[in-house]
Structure 1
Amino acid sequence: MPRGQNQKLKLYYLAKIMLEKTDDDHYLTMPEILEALRSYEVTADRKSIYTDLKDLEHLGIEVEGEPWGRSYRYHVVGRQFEMPELKLLVDAIQSSRFITAKKSNELIRKLESLVSEYEARELQRQVYVSGRIKTMNESIYYTVDAIYSAIASNRKILFQYFQWNAKKEMELRHGGAVYKISPWGLAWDNENYYLVGYDSEADMIKHYRVDKMLRIRMSDEEREGRERFRGLDMAAYTKKSFGMFGGREEQVKLLVHNRLAGVIIDRFGKDIMMIPADEEHFTVHVDVAVSGQFISWVFSLGDEVKILGPEPVVEQVHREIRRLTEQYGV
């Protein structure tokens, strides 16, 4: 048998063929395997292929054979990811607002390489999410990586921050000033990534939308604010900050209709204590950063939620009602 041009790559091409052409529902017979190898200019006899199929196990590729008529057929079993897991990852990528459309397609193509060409077609699915708008900042992935690198190196980061103007243009905030922040973690809220860090000049914890950070780089200065973050529960911090808008932290008492018990649990967790007030209502004390967004959230729930205290928060609600009355001329 004449030798092919790519004999040294026989095991590589055999692995490629088996991974791409077989799965739990698709098999290759020995003649089909030999024919596929010839398409890569690799020649082989049956005996050597039997040995090579066993050798693939050393590469983490398990091939199983089963009787097929008077012969055998072969397929890859026990892949690293199961199809339901990959479909879940694809759905998460498709529906994630912070991942651009371009990067979504790139990531899904990489996931498709983990399965056979037949299963890859099943991953080419479209998830429709109401109101989903993909971010337009392609550099977000490198920004996230830079933040994690700074955290691992115990260094501050420098960056510029932008907002969109009415002309749909990026507009640097504070005249293009460079922000210097000690990064301590990343938070996820309302489909957006936020850097949570310590601003030593203001002596306070702040957060920034990662997709609005530009030209990020690591500083030579060590991070500050360790004591402030030592006892900080990042998940609790995100839960308290509605839409990640800041405000003074207060324990607010709410009167809630029983119908909205699920809404309260979804927002504040199952550990929240709900005390019956009457047959139709309960009260709950929640720790929140009191901001316009929090008050708007309460308003959005209509007459089934009422802020009972503390008094300064109730007064803030009254001011917001007066402002809306003036704005809309009621």
Structure 2
Amino acid sequence: MPQHKPNHLLLLQRLLYEKTDDLHTISVADILNHWASHGIKLGRKSVYSAIDSLRDNGMDIICVKSTQNQYFVGDRLFELPELKLLVDAVESSRFITAKKSDRLIQKLSMLTSQYHARQLERHIYMAGTAKPGNERIYYIVDKIQDAIQEEHRITFQYYEYTPQKEKVLKHGGYRYRISPYALIWSRDYYYVVGWSEKHGKLAQFRVDRMTAVESSEQAAILSPDFDAAEYVRKVFGMYPERPCTVELLCENETMRSIIDRFGSDICTQIVDERHFRAAVEVAPSPPFFGWVFAFGGKIRILGPVDILQKIKEMGRWLT
């Protein structure tokens, strides 16, 4: 069976993408030698014609005019700083396994020249984070996203850990059934939020603790008023407590932290030269109280009374 020679246009395209950037160029002679190494014998005019064809099809090829013109790829799908940001995000994500991180970074490296790709071989320090070992998470996320788009219910089992660090299915392997509304990324974890038939209300589940996820042909129980952004803002730390308005007394230096957590549109009022009040709507959960404790008294809860009582009880737990 006769062997077909590689297409000279595709060879040139790959050569330009892999071997050139703003600091590394190739000449007409380089291109002819590259073609010749693949058994293609063409002349200089073929080089100019091939470059024009690639340009006509949207490839940004820059020519540096000199006694021997030099060529390199200009605009790419991603600029090098953008790729560095993506690599750092992949490398630091607790959701992505170490094995999958390596694969994704290799693929990202293919979007730039081999010289720039070396700059993507960067390992950042992740304070207090540990990579997961469950490769199935990616397929679970994909399945949930499909169910959301198709407005179908999903079923799954949920697991927790014993004191011996062993995984055990909750409620003896009970299959939860929910109508998924949204996938939410919070504090390096994915959560699926939807209507839970077991709980009879909105509930959230950590995706990395879900297993045996199956899509159902049953239509989802829809909630047209569901707002994912509002849900995240109110249900602080992904706990199921009912949201309420909490009044905080804050030192001025904490304004940045208040805005980072609750947004710039919250209601605030100046109290004196050192303090302001903030009214925030949150779920009064342990993560919220822990967040308040972390400021060492620079943020204090003023009310309601029952919330004050809860945080006092939490303080007693710590002694």
Q: TM-score range by the shorter chain?
A: over 0.9
Distance, in Å, in 2 between the alignment partners of 1:206 and 1:233 is: 14
Q: In structure 2, the residue corresponding to 1:215 is in which secondary structure?
A: strand
Is 1:22 the counterpart of 2:20? The answer is yes
Is 1:308 the counterpart of 2:305? The answer is no
Deviation (angstroms), 1:165: 3.0
Alignment partner, residue 31 of structure 1:
29
Alignment partner, residue 203 of structure 2:
206
Is 1:293 the counterpart of 2:290? The answer is no
Alignment partner, residue 253 of structure 2:
259
Q: How does 1:1-330 map to 2 (within 5 A)?
A: 6-68=4-66, 70-224=67-221, 226-227=222-223, 230-325=224-319
Distance, in Å, in 2 between the alignment partners of 1:169 and 1:144 is: 23
Query: How high is the TM-score relative to the length of structure 1?
Result: 0.91
Deviation (angstroms), 1:35: 1.4
Aligned-partner residue type, residue 200 of structure 1:
E
Structure 1's 268 and 64: CA in aligned 2 closer, same or farther, altered over 3 A? same
Q: In structure 1, the residue corresponding to 2:243 is in which secondary structure?
A: strand
Deviation (angstroms), 1:245: 1.9
Deviations 1:196-234 (A, max 9, x none): 11113422111111111112111011101x23xx33331
Instruction: Tell me which moved more, 170-179 or 40-49.
Output: 40-49
CA contact (8 A) 1:255 1:305 kept: yes
Deviations 1:282-314 (A, max 9, x none): 111111111122122212222212211111111
Aligned-partner residue type, residue 283 of structure 2:
A
Instruction: Tell me which moved more, 121-130 or 263-272.
Output: 121-130
Instruction: Tell me which moved more, 110-119 or 9-18.
Output: 9-18
Distance, in Å, in 2 between the alignment partners of 1:34 and 1:61 is: 19
Aligned-partner residue type, residue 167 of structure 1:
Q
> Percent same amino acid at aligned positions?
41
Deviations 1:138-181 (A, max 9, x none): 11111111111101111001111122333333222221111111
Q: How many residues align?
A: 318
The runs of 5 or more residues in structure 1 that have no matched partner are 326-330
Q: In structure 2, the residue corresponding to 1:220 is in which secondary structure?
A: strand
Deviation (angstroms), 1:38: 2.5
Distance, in Å, in 1 between the alignment partners of 2:37 and 2:204 is: 56
Q: In structure 2, the residue corresponding to 1:195 is in which secondary structure?
A: strand
Structure 1's 175 and 39: CA in aligned 2 closer, same or farther, altered over 3 A? farther
Distance, in Å, in 1 between the alignment partners of 2:187 and 2:135 is: 19
Distance, in Å, in 2 between the alignment partners of 1:176 and 1:40 is: 59
The runs of 5 or more residues in structure 2 that have no matched partner are none
Aligned-partner residue type, residue 130 of structure 2:
I
Aligned-partner residue type, residue 275 of structure 1:
Q
Distance, in Å, in 1 between the alignment partners of 2:276 and 2:12 is: 65
Deviation (angstroms), 1:6: 4.6
Distance, in Å, in 1 between the alignment partners of 2:269 and 2:101 is: 45
